[in-house]
Amino acid sequence: MNDQGMASAHPAGSAEEAAEVRRFWEGLGLPGLIDVHTHFMPERVLHKVWDYFDTQGPLIGGLAWPITYREEEAERAALLRKFGVRAFTAMLYPHKPGMAPWLNEWAAAFARRTPDCLQTATFHPEPGVETYVREAIEAGARVFKAHVQVGAYDPADELLQPVWGMLAEARIPVVIHCGSGPAPGKHTGPEPIARVLAHHPELRLVIAHMGMPEYEDFLSLTERYPQVRLDTTMAFTDFTEAFMPFPRRALPRLAGLGDRILLGTDFPNLPYPYVHQLHALERLGLGQEWLRAVCHDNAAELFGL
């Protein structure tokens, strides 16, 4: 056991860990995994993210947040393939106006040289956002990332209304960090995103991190809107359960939404081995059919893989 109580049978990134991950999905009869929440971004931006976790991690829930997979970009992509991840994303996001267009250009180039990455794009409420989001869609974006906490914006901002409408019409999923974990922001929580969905009920939102810590509120939104989904990123793990536990009383609701839960991990920004996320899902005890849907089939259907 490590100091956070998480069993780790093999070193992170080792051949043994890769074999353990593969045994997991092979045991479910799957062709591999689909991970909808992985981070690839320009190296200098990613290193700033790592610096944040290095310095601010201990302030979040009182736990250290060591980055487990600090390899170079090509090595990280190769490791996902060794794990048997058939498709993954390049979740990237601006923290200020003016960043999104060049992040989208980088992500498009990354997808061209990384064909198993679902081309990812992002946006910020700013003049011109409608234009560059349309350009990203026309350039082949298959998923968007929105980060309400880091971007510090109201998702219901008037500047974003045409963007949400465009994405709903194009049926392109948006993975959105809008819950108040690991630290709340001015516009986090279920209420702002509920206002977005009230105007755009067909929007294919994927609520990152199961909406932690407002899990039950976001379960309610998912039950209310058939196109809303949740990703598992960091949820149910020993790390997160120590300070933002998922309520056991909500497990039946989680089981009932088995067709709209998607595997996400936050790779490479994990404070534990990748395989731990899979074991955390398995120990929920919701059955192999649920696990097959969550770890592969739901995302395969959503993205037409």
What is the number of domains present in the chain? 1
* CATH code for the domain of 223: 3.20.20.140
Three-class DSSP category at 200: coil
Averaged pLDDT for residues 67-73: 94
For residues 11 and 167, what is the distance between their CA atoms, to the nearest angstrom? 40
Residue 1 lies in a domain: no
Under a CB-based contact definition with an 8 Å cutoff, are residues 100 and 41 in contact? no
**Structure tokens of 200?**
């755009």
pLDDT in tens, 73-112: 999 999 999 999 999 999 999 999 999 999 999 999 999 9
Under a CB-based contact definition with an 8 Å cutoff, are residues 222 and 260 in contact? yes
**Structure tokens of 27?**
């045991």
Which of 2-11, 95-104, 271-280, 292-301 has the weakest average pLDDT?
2-11
Q: Is the pLDDT of residue 3 over 50?
A: no
Residue 43 lies in a domain: yes
For residues 24 and 161, what is the distance between their CA atoms, to the nearest angstrom? 41
Residue 156 lies in a domain: yes
Which of 58-67, 168-177, 291-300 has the weakest average pLDDT?
58-67
Residue 5 lies in a domain: no
For residues 50 and 114, what is the distance between their CA atoms, to the nearest angstrom? 22
Q: What residue type is assigned to position 154 of the chain?
A: D
Residue 4 lies in a domain: no
Residue 10 lies in a domain: no
Residue 7 lies in a domain: no
What angle in degrees, to the nearest 10, is found between the helix axes of 15-27 and 274-282?
A: 30
Locate tokens 């509920």: which residue?
194
Q: How confident is the model at residue 6 (pLDDT cuts 50, 70, 90)?
A: very low
Residue 191, domain extent: 15-303
pLDDT in tens, 245-291: 999 999 999 999 999 999 999 999 999 999 999 999 999 999 999 99
Residue 258 lies in a domain: yes
Nearest to 119 by CA among 83, 92, 90, 149: 90
